[in-house]
Structure 1
Amino acid sequence: MKKFMDKDFLLQTETARVLYHEHAAPMPIYDYHCHINPREIAENREFRNIAQAWLGSDTYKWRLLRSNAVSEGCVTGSEVSSREKFQYFAESLSRAIGSPLYHWTHLELQRYFDCDLILNGENAEKIWDICNARLQAADMRAQGIIERSNVQVICTTDDPASDLKWHTKIKEDGKCPAEVLPTFRADNILNIEEDGWDAYMRYELGEAANMDDISTMADIREAIVKRLDYFAEKGCQIADHALPYMVFAPAKEYELDDVVGKVINGKGAPSKLAMEQYKTAVLLFLGEEYARRGWTMQIHYSALRDVNSLQYSILGNDSGFDAVDTHNCAPALAKFLDALNKDGHLPKTIISSLNPADNIVIAALLPAFSGTEALGKIQQGAAWWFNNNKEGIEAQLRILASISVLGNTIGTPTDSRSLLSYSRHEYYRRILCNFIGNLVENGEYPADMKTLGKLVEDISYNNACRYFAF
């Protein structure tokens, strides 16, 4: 029987062990997509206790607690103390056999708190004390965690109307060990069907773009360009778009003006077709602008968000009440990429679906739109959210290797709000090395350790540096 989470955790072969320890583990981290608040980095946040660091914004942990019948007041509320919340989590974690959360938690305990104990209800008090004592050290403040994690680049997620003041402060201070760059997250511009879209466009985006009126598609394009210019000044090189499903419904300019004018003047919500036409027009325009600037476009879809309407009304979005959706996005995605490509406006693009059934759909599209701008110009995003587990990562790697080129992938982002989540890169790299190691030891690839080592180093870090031209 193997020891739980020893130095060779998840590494089943000698090839895997050499690849991980000698090649993957030493590589820095390029975190090209995360939800860390740049204010935490700018202010070099100090955590009062481990519950604040772990349970303050981690929806994975919230979902675990709810699944174990812990009341919401003890999850996100203030019914109990931080120590009691931690106790609930420790007791719940013991039941999460096979969950990546179980692995992530213990990786964090080992890497950041020098603690090899197994967290459960019985020793929660002891681990609470160990972690809280460790959190007092300077290297466990926000920037210290980043340095300990060997993070070189962090790309946050930022609204187009943001003044990016925290990025400015980070840059001016010059103390953060990583380059912290904004990401242009265009959701609030795209979501014309959402309540409050008109107010956002008029007041938040309009004010940020220094425009008195936004009432036509031409106005929206002008505002977008102004904000893209501003983000570019702050070092932005990546844009991000979360869609329920991929759209492609071209429309005439007058049709777009009609729907924009109707919604922005409070005359009702758009029809499904009108919504898709508007989103298509904005996405095509954004794609052209990204290509012109040399930026990368990220598109992710098939998340079924906020399925619990009662809890949404109380807690709002990003509270852990999401699920996986199913859509046939292949035709629209192919037409969208083709429309940009035929006019020479297709930027480097990363495509992710939350539905694992789409892995082969996306992987098959990649070579169809390859280009000379980068190895793997069109990328399949790493196993994401509900797929970010051992089986999900292996499945994505297997399909990508089978019908595209695994050696060109840019690896995984953190996609987390927690600074302690950088151990997820270790988790991914261990699974990657084990996957490659099994191919080698099964005689499916030569045991050329020089070539294999370079492949692992590239996937872990170097490919991302080249892809984003850092």
Structure 2
Amino acid sequence: MTTKFIHENFLLENKYSEELYHNYSKNQPIIDYHNHLSPQLICEDYVFNNISEVWIKGDHYKWRAMRTLGVSEKFITGVASDKEKFLQWGKTVPYTLRNPLYHWTHLELARYFDIYELLNEKTAEGIYEETSARLNSSEYSCQNLLRKVNVKVVCTTEDPTDTLEYHQKMRANGLDIKVSTSFRPDKSILIGLEGYNEYIDALGQSAGIEIQSYDDLCNALQKRISYFNDNGCKVSDHGLEQIYFEEFTASEIQNIFIKKRSNQELSQEEILKFQSSVLLFLSETYHQFGWVQQFHLGALRNNNARMHRILGPDTGWDSIGDFSQARKLSQFLNALDTKDKLTKTILYNLNPADNEVLATMIGNFNDGSVKGKVQFGSGWWFLDQKDGMTKQMNALSNMGLLSCFIGMLTDSRSFLSFPRHEYFRRVLCNLLGKEIESGELPNDMELIGKMVSDISYHNAEEYFNF
């Protein structure tokens, strides 16, 4: 009899790893404190028509793999039917061996559909029909997909101009899963991007302020932060190449903003000064409201200009950047800390070469006021796989306290992505279990088990206090 590829001890290499996972981690609820799920789909408890709609649509991880194999864009983001797209994905899966997609694919089939058959060109049609038949029922609605894997909290990500109407409806309806929002104001910061003035007009409209000056901009952002806060938001998020920190004067920033509003070209120095000013203002405001701020650093986006022009952003043309991180990040955090306005902060790193930089940076600003106040966030994007997560945890262990780590998040647009929490937990338990076996950690299950359950759930529960 052939052993299932996904089995109860998948990735667990010894009895200690197995005990840690099954007794201390497996049954912990999930707090997914950063993702890009649609609040509308959750609110309306949407039922998907087929697996392609929930699994392939919007998943640029899969898209990149299919393109690499030579699959036509027609079967990825193009006009092909959902079934044709899935069959092309099934054809691609065997070629993803040693890519995390192979593990994620089979974990998701197992956990949501009890399918343990390997997905390939021969099995794809049968799996498509079986999964699509199940998905097309209320048992597999968006809310029930979250319940199936014990999700307790999800934080979606919204622009300051968002009305948050679906979050309001979910709160009014008393949904048993807490669905909160994250404030993502990058468009208000990145003054050098095309369409900035049009965005500022939209921001002013949502805040009820005609934004003519920099002070108006700050007032509008503060009003939107207050609005988000009134609607249960406790978290902000930024996706930046690097942290900005340049010296500036108030009059300089006012002039730069007026210059931009007059459609005049800005110098790179002016852009960096302005971005530094807005970022500091926002972070001080987050502190005022007691929020957690998140910074996703290091992505080099939209590398393929031709495909970006055809398909737009977030379609699979981004990569790891090699931006300088340490000095500006230090100056930025120090400027906030000097005023005692540094709120809880999570730093995510996309370049593994910077792991130790961030692992040591957080220690500079953990001041004893809060357990794990400044966090080195979980392996992100290209690094949210076994090797990337292990390297992140090793760097954090060597230079900080892994015990205070708030663990995993999906950062995903897919309602089937939550087994990534299981994947992370198995990697964590195996890492610790192997060190118990080698004698590097004590054979004390109560001690190590508490650490595992804290990282799996309790640390995040305490840190965010949802």
The residue aligned with 2:296 is 300
Aligned counterparts, 1:264-279, within 5 A: 264-268=261-265, 270-279=266-275
Q: Deviations over 1:179-198 (max 9, x none)?
A: 11111101111111111111
Deviations 1:368-419 (A, max 9, x none): 1113342110001100000111110111111110110001010011100001
Answer whether contact 1:146 1:177 (CA < 8 A) is retained.
Answer: no
Alignment match of 1:393 (pick from 383, 389, 414): 389
Whether contact under 8 Å (1:139, 1:148) holds in the other structure is no
Q: Which residue of 1 aligns with 2:412?
A: 416
| Structure 1 counterpart of 2:204, one-letter code | G
Residue 147 of structure 2 is matched in structure 1 by: 147
User: Which amino acid in structure 2 is aligned with residue 11 of structure 1?
Assistant: L
Match of 1:447 among 443, 446, 452: 443
How far has the Cα of 1:208 moved from its partner?
0.8
Looking at structure 1, the residues matched to 43 and 294 of structure 2 have their Cα atoms a distance apart, in angstroms, of 25
Question: After TM superposition, which residue ranges in structure 1, 4 or more long, deviate above 4 angstroms?
Answer: none
AA in 2 matched with 1:6: H
Equivalent residue for 1:58? 59
C-alpha distance in 1, partners of 2:373/2:195? Answer: 36
Letter in 2 for 1:192: I
Aligned to 1:89: 89
Deviations 1:435-467 (A, max 9, x none): 111121111111111111111111011100111
CA distance in structure 1 between the partners assigned to 2:239 and 2:456 by the alignment: 25
CA distance in 1, matches of 2:3, 2:140: 31
Contact 2:244 2:279 (C-alpha < 8 Å) held by counterparts: no
Q: What is the 5 A alignment of 1:281-430?
A: 281-430=277-426
Q: Secondary structure at the match of 1:280?
A: helix
Q: Distance in 2 between matches of 1:397 and 1:329?
A: 19
Supply the distance in 1 between the matched residues of 2:334 and 2:7 (Cα, whole angstroms).
48
Equivalent positions of 1:46-125 (< 5 A) are 46-78=47-79, 80-125=80-125
CA distance 1:15–1:306, change in 2 (3 Å): same
Cα displacement (A) at 1:4: 2.1
How far apart, in 2, do the equivalents of 1:305 and 1:390 lie? 24
Q: Which residue of 2 aligns with 1:177?
A: 176
SS in 1 for 2:179: strand
Deviations 1:109-139 (A, max 9, x none): 0000111100000111111121112213322
Q: Give the Cα separation in 1 of the matches to 2:439 and 2:15.
A: 14
Partner of 2:208: 210
Counterpart residue type for residue 55 of structure 2: W
Distance 1:211 1:155 in 2: 28
Query: Percent same amino acid at aligned positions?
Result: 40
Shift of 1:177: 2.8
Per-residue deviation, 1:3:
5.3
Structure-2 separation of matches of 1:153 and 1:257: 40
**Aligned equivalents of 1:380, 1:326: Cα separation in 2:** 18
TM-score with structure 1 setting the length: 0.97
Conserved? CA contact 2:406–2:456, under 8 Å? yes
Give, in whole Å, the separation in 1 of the partners of 2:362 and 2:297.
17
Superposition deviation, residue 223 in structure 1: 0.7
Contact 1:198 1:265 in 2 (8 A): no
Amino acid at match of 2:118: I
Separation in 2, partners of 1:286, 1:190: 10
5+ residue gaps, structure 1, are: none
Question: Runs of 5+ in structure 2 lacking a partner?
Answer: none
Deviation at 1:166, TM superposition (A): 1.1
Report the Cα offset of residue 5 of structure 1: 2.2
Task: Tell me which residue corresponds to 2:126.
Answer: 126
State the SS of the aligned residue for 1:419. coil
Displacement of 1:45 in angstroms is: 1.0
Amino acid at match of 2:209: M
Deviation at 1:291, TM superposition (A): 1.2
Is 1:9–2:6 an aligned residue pair? no
Once superposed, what is the RMSD of the aligned Cα atoms? 1.2
Distance of aligned partners of 1:364 and 1:139 in 2 relative to their CA distance in 1, 3 Å threshold = same
> What is the aligned partner in structure 2 of residue 260 from structure 1?
257
> Residue 200 of structure 2 aligns to which amino acid in structure 1?
M
Name the aligned partner's letter for residue 179 of structure 2.
V
Q: Once the 2 structures are TM-superposed, how far is the Cα of residue 429 of structure 1 from its aligned partner?
A: 0.5
Partner of 1:24: 25
- The superposition leaves residues 264-284 of structure 1 with CA deviations (integer Å, 9 ceiling, x where unpaired) of 22112x222111111111111
Q: Secondary structure in 2 aligned to 1:379?
A: strand
For 1:168, the aligned partner's letter is Q
Equivalent pairs, count: 465
Contact 2:100–2:385 (8 Å) recurs in 1? yes
